[in-house]
Amino acid sequence: MTPDIGTAGLLGLFTHFFMLSLLAVGGAISTAPDMQRYLVVEQHWLTDAQFSSSIAIAQAAPGPNVLFVAVLGWNVAGPLSVLATMAGCLLPSTLFSLWATRWGEQRQGSVGVRALKAGMVPITLGLLLSTGWVLALPCIGKASHRTGALALIAVTLLVMMRTRLSPMWLVGLGAAVGALGWA
């Protein structure tokens, strides 16, 4: 079930994800194409199908999307390679973020830091809207499920804008509607 890639393999895996970590501006998912190149094309540790399903499982499970990196690690060689991919992926970015946070904190009142915060807001909002759009596309792409998916999206928007219900209830509703074959 879990192939042995050896200590050198584990070290290589760790190093590669360590390198990608600092390039992951906008989230770990933006480095996924290079992970695919390394794991599938170069090392042949995973198939293309395994790679895509790893991302799909992480999307469906609760928790941050970055956990697809743990699933990739698991599919390469079990628990030890999870440690290699996750530590490699998170260590550099975490240390850098902490350092940057403290640096910014000391200059909180400065015009530069205030302009950086304010100026990045419109871009962030645009990225969020784009993410919503990209996530919605496959749901409304198929004619057979379009009405149900659109209804679910509309109900979600209405409930979220009008109430402070936990989003979890809506996810439950989505699962039920989907399981009945309506979305």
Partner 1 sequence: MTSPEHIDHPEAPLVKPASPRELFIAFNSLALQGFGGVLPVAQTELVERRRWLSREQFVEMLALSQVLPGPNIVNLALMFSDGHFGLRGAFAAMAGLLVLPMIIVLALTALYGQFATVPLVSGALRGMAAVAAGLVISTALKLLTTLRNNPMGRPLGLAFAALTVVAIAWLRWPLVWVVAGGGAVCVAIALRRLR
Segment contacting partner 1 by CB under 8 A, of 5-13, 38-46, 172-180: 172-180
Q: Is 15 in the site for partner 1 (CB under 8 A)?
A: no
Q: What part of residues 76-135 is at the interface with partner 1 (CB under 8 A)? A: 82, 86, 90, 92-94, 96-98, 100-102, 104-105, 111-112, 114-135
Contact assessment for residue 75 and residue 3, using Cβ atoms and an 8 Å cutoff = no
Q: How many CA atoms lie within 13 A of 179 on its CB side?
A: 6
CA distances (Å), origin 165, targets 149, 152, 161, 177: 20, 16, 10, 18
- Count, residues near partner 1 per rule CB under 8 A: 97
**One-letter amino acid identity for 121?**
V
Q: Is 6 in the site for partner 1 (CB under 8 A)?
A: no
Q: What part of residues 27-46 is at the interface with partner 1 (CB under 8 A)? A: 27-28, 30
Q: Is 139 in the site for partner 1 (CB under 8 A)?
A: yes
Our CB check for partner 1 shows the closer of 1 and 8 to be 1
C-alpha 37/C-alpha 42 separation (Å) is 6
**One-letter amino acid identity for 114?**
R
Q: Is 166 in the site for partner 1 (CB under 8 A)?
A: yes
Q: Is 143 in the site for partner 1 (CB under 8 A)?
A: no
Q: Is 157 in the site for partner 1 (CB under 8 A)?
A: yes
- Grouping H, G, I as helix, E, B as strand and the rest as coil, residue 159 is helix
